[in-house]
Structure 1
Amino acid sequence: MSGTFAVRDHLLEELELSVRTSCSLIAQIQPTEWDFRPQDNMRSLMELVHHLAAIPATDLAILQEKTEQEVAEVENGAAGIASPDELIQRFQANLALFKQYILSLSEDELLTKSSKAYYLEHGMVQIKWLIEVTTHTFHHRSQLYNYLKQNGHELNFFMLYM
């Protein structure tokens, strides 16, 4: 296996960890908590979970150079879903689509194929998109963890690595 594919696989493992542990947090959400918002200028818990679950599919649409409207349709695909189980299933399905795309790329494509998001001036190579999706997911997993802690959930740091 090439070094490039080894790095790709490590990043995918980290992305899978982030999704798996995010799902364990989502599973703890009670129906009465969806409107929780730490501050007026922040997303509600429901908005945060919808965004988090959409990241692999939304970012895939972005890196595949979809239009702003097409990306918004993907981003808002879970609107109205309040079932933690359904959101978890959607998150896992979105991860599978993203992973399928990344695994389909050759080493050369990972390192040199550039795609440009509708909101950027310059494109990024696919391996950088993989890094972006991984860090984006971890960022919002951290927010979710903090929202749940603020809402009284008994959570511990170790659950983020299991």
Structure 2
Amino acid sequence: MSGVTQIRDHLLEELNLVVRTVESLLTKIQPEEWEYRPAENMRTLLELTHHLVSIPASDLAILQEKTQTEVEQVETQVSGIRDPLVLAAQFRANYDLLQAYMLSLTEAELLNKSTKAFYLDHGIVQIKWLIEIVTHSFHHRSQLYNYLKQSGHELQFFMLYG
């Protein structure tokens, strides 16, 4: 196995860690908590969760050069879901789609295939897109953890590494 595919696999493992730990965090959410908003200029818990669950699929659509409208359609696929278990299953399914795409790429494609998001004027290579998706997901997982802590949930940081 080459170093490039090892790095890809490590990044996918890290993203899988996000999915597993978010699945665990989602099970703690009670129906009355969905409208929690830590500050007026922040998303509600439901909006944050919908965004986080959509990241693998919406970012995959972006790196595949889908239009803004197509990406927005992907993002709204979860908009009516309030069941934490259904959201967790959708997050897993979105991860599986992204993983399948990344595993289908050759080493040369990972390093050299450049695609341009609808909002950028330049392309980005696939491995950098994967790094962006991982960091984006970790960022919002951290927000979810903090929202739940602020809502009074008893959480321990080690939950984020299990």
TM-score (norm 2): 0.99
Structure 1 segments, 4+ long, off by >6 Å, are none
Deviations 1:34-90 (A, max 9, x none): 000001110000000000000000000000000000000001110111000110010
Structure 2 counterpart of 1:149, one-letter code: K
Match of 2:142 in 1: 142
Match of 1:88 in 2: 88
Question: How far did 1:147 drift?
Answer: 0.1
- Structure 2 stretches lacking a partner, 5+ long: none
Question: How far did 1:157 drift?
Answer: 0.6
The percent of aligned pairs where both chains have the same amino acid is 65
Question: How far did 1:33 drift?
Answer: 0.1
RMSD, aligned α-carbons: 0.4
C-alpha distance in structure 2 between counterparts of 1:78 and 1:8, whole Å: 27
Residues 1-162 of structure 1: pairs in structure 2 closer than 5 A: 1-162=1-162
Question: How far did 1:120 drift?
Answer: 0.6
Question: How far did 1:32 drift?
Answer: 0.5
Structure 1 counterpart of 2:63, one-letter code: L
Question: How far did 1:2 drift?
Answer: 0.3
Structure 1 counterpart of 2:142, one-letter code: S
Question: How far did 1:23 drift?
Answer: 1.1
C-alpha distance in structure 2 between counterparts of 1:160 and 1:78, whole Å: 24
3-state SS in 2 of match to 1:66: coil
C-alpha distance in structure 2 between counterparts of 1:18 and 1:90, whole Å: 14
Structure 2 counterpart of 1:132, one-letter code: E
Question: How far did 1:5 drift?
Answer: 0.3
3-state SS in 1 of match to 2:122: coil
C-alpha distance in structure 2 between counterparts of 1:83 and 1:60, whole Å: 24
Structure 2 counterpart of 1:120, one-letter code: L
C-alpha distance in structure 1 between counterparts of 2:57 and 2:14, whole Å: 17
C-alpha distance in structure 2 between counterparts of 1:62 and 1:27, whole Å: 29
Question: How far did 1:27 drift?
Answer: 1.1
